[in-house]
Structure formats: structure tokens, C-alpha cells
Structure 1
Amino acid sequence: MMDDAEFSAWQKKVEGTNISSTTLLATDYLNHFNEIVMLLEMVPDMPDMIEDCKEWAPKSYQEHFRDSAFSDKELAIEAYEHVPPRFRRPFEETIEHLNTIVAHAVSQLETIIETGDEDLLRATASAVTTSLQKFMDVASGIIHGSAKTMSQDEIDTALAL
């Protein structure tokens, strides 16, 4: 468990960077999910894009930064070990939900493409991307220091798509 002095030292280390001094998290991680949202949004107009969607894979926070061009990537990777549990736990749970929705959505959209039902494809892709955006908004809020997460009912509804 990190003490206040250690957390305060980390807060000073990240000052002036794109890493939140409140949580020690960076919104740049959400770019990983923005990528799949954009791909999923294209699927109704270009069903072949489902292949690109299938190539997308979950990445942990630290994996994302290892592979990124983010200017403070080493600091982001190191700071993650010091994120207070009150932010880290809900953040990781939210990311798990995002990964689950993506995996389910890609499978579901692929099945719909095979049926040729363009209306269902469009409606499903829209519902999925809306759901992903809600979870990304929650993740962004956590990154910026909000303790608000989604209720279990909201989570269950989003995961039931």
C-alpha cells in the first residue's frame, strides 16, 4: 500500500504531462478503444471491415503504452503501478467490460453479416458502439478522478447486447 508521501511524489512527477496528477492515469489509453469503435462504426457500410475488427486485440494499459508513441510512455507505464486502488479497481473493471463487449460484438456482427440483414447489422453496430462509448466515458471519468461508475443494471444492459 502506497503512503501519502509516495503518492504525493508521484503526483509531482506527472505534473505538466498528459497523465492525471489526481489518478496517475492517462486518457491516451482510450485511443486503443477509439480505434475499434471507429472500425465497428464502418462495418454496416463496409462489411469487409469485420476482418480488421477481428484483428483488434485487447491490450493492457501498460502494453498500450509500450507500443505507443506517447511522449511520456515510460512514465505512464511506471506510474500505473502507483495508481490508488480507489481508481485502479474501477478502471480495470471498466476496461474488462469494454474488452468483453468488443469480443461479443465482433462475433455477433460477423454472424449478422452472414445473414445479409443490413438493417440488423446497422442497428447492432450502432447499439454496440453506443455501449462502448458509455464505458469509455466512465473510464475517462475515472482517469480524471471521478469515482462514478456504472450501476450493475447499466452494466448488465450494456453487456447483454
Structure 2
Amino acid sequence: MTTYECFKEKVEGRNIHPETLLATDYLNHFNEVIMLLEMVPDMPDILEDCKEWQPKSYADHFRDSGFSDRELAIAAYDHVPERFKKPFEETVEQMNTLALLSITRTDEAFAEGRPEVAAERARAGSRALQKMIDVASAIIHGGHGTFDQAQIDDMMAP
């Protein structure tokens, strides 16, 4: 039995997908910044909380979480098949970039005295991140696909 097959058995019945060995709980890290960005138009001071958000690796997320199977999720990650791991990591990197860019662009608009532009940038960032969460979730559940840079640029167009 391969290590991958062993992990497939270990994760059976857990909140870790038995084929991909990935857990959707990781996406909560991004749901946090999505929620904060959604609140910025009505509560501009929330941008300060957004600015504290930082990318977090899969393992770091689980180390810091209360997820009941966090040690298993961390261990299984080293055995995620490349056909899932590569698109997942590419999507996560795109989400990290998009989240930080959204926060920066929103902050710049506020600094320029354009609160209506800042609000729209926060909304656009939140919507774009939600689309990317859907892609990451599909990968976690055995699907394939990522966004290319042109699609990301289109989502972030002012």
C-alpha cells in the first residue's frame, strides 16, 4: 500500500477529502478577508482590520486553528497528488495576491479622498476572491482549474 493510499484511509470520514487529501477549512482564512472587505463600504474603519490580514500557508493555518483533524491535515498535505496540489497552490497564490492588492488599492483610494472608489474596490476584491474560493473549493473536491492572469486582471479592473 502506498503512502497516499494510507492517507486516503486515514482521512475517510473526516473533513478532509479522501481523494485530494485537502480540507476546505483552509478556505476560512480567505473567508475572513472577504467578510472584512464586504464591510468596508459601510464601515470604512474596518480597512484597518483588512490591513492586518496576511497570507498564511496551509500548514500554518491548521497549526493556528481549532480544526479537530489539524495534525492529520498537515501530514496529509505532503501527499496530495500533484494533479490537485499544483492547481491548488497556484489558486492560493492568486488569492493571496488578489487579497493584498484589493486591500492596497482600497487604502489608496481612501488616501486620495475618494471613498466611493474605495468602496467599489473593496466590493470588487470581495467578489473576485469569492470566485476564486469557488475554484479552490472545486479543486479540494477533486476538480481541476485555475484562473489565468488575464482573468484576474479583468476581475480587478477599476
Task: Identify if the C-alpha distance between structure 1 residues 160 and 80 changes in structure 2 by more than 3 Å, giving closer, same or farther.
Answer: farther
Matched residues in 2 for 1:152 and 1:59: separation?
Answer: 21
Does structure 2 conserve the Cα–Cα contact (< 8 Å) formed by 1:17 and 1:72?
A: yes
| Shift, 1:113, TM fit | 1.3
The one-character-per-residue Cα deviations of 1:84-117 (angstroms, maximum 9, x if unpaired) are 0110011001000011011111111111112332
Distance (Å, rounded) in 2 between the aligned partners of 1:56 and 1:141:
24
**1:97-116 pair list within 5 angstroms:** 97-116=94-113
TM-superposed deviation, 1:160: 5.2
RMSD between aligned alpha carbons?
1.6
State the shift of 1:152 in Å. 4.8
Does structure 2 retain, via aligned residues, the 8 Å contact 1:23–1:87? yes
1:154 aligns with 2:151: yes
Structure 2 residue runs of 5 or longer lacking an equivalent are none
SS in 2 for 1:74: helix
- Distance in 2 (alpha carbons) for counterparts of 1:99 and 1:153: 16
Residue 71 (1) aligns with residue 68 (2): yes
1:121 shift after superposition: 2.1
1:7 aligns with 2:4: yes
| Aligned CA distance change for structure 1 residues 155 and 118 (closer, same or farther; 3 Å) | closer
**Residue 65 of structure 1 contacts residue 76 of structure 1 at CA under 8 Å; is this kept in 2?**
yes
Give the drift of 1:53: 0.7
Deviations 1:34-65 (CA, angstroms, capped at 9, x unpaired):
00000111111111111111111110000000
Residues of 2 paired with 1:160 and 1:76: CA distance?
36
Q: Which runs of 4+ in 1 moved over 4 A?
A: none
Aligned to 1:80: 77
Does the alignment pair 1:46 with 2:43?
Answer: yes
Contact 1:97–1:159 at 8 Å: present in 2 too?
A: no
Amino acid at match of 2:14: T
TM-score, normalised relative to structure 2: 0.93
Partner of 1:35: 32
TM-score of the aligned structures, taking structure 1 as reference length = 0.91
1:123 equivalent to 2:133? Answer no
Decide which moves more: 121-130 or 54-63.
Answer: 121-130
More off after superposition, 100-109 vs 147-156: 147-156
Moved more, 4-13 or 148-157: 148-157
Percent identity between the two aligned chains: 54
CA contact (8 A) 2:105 2:118 kept: no
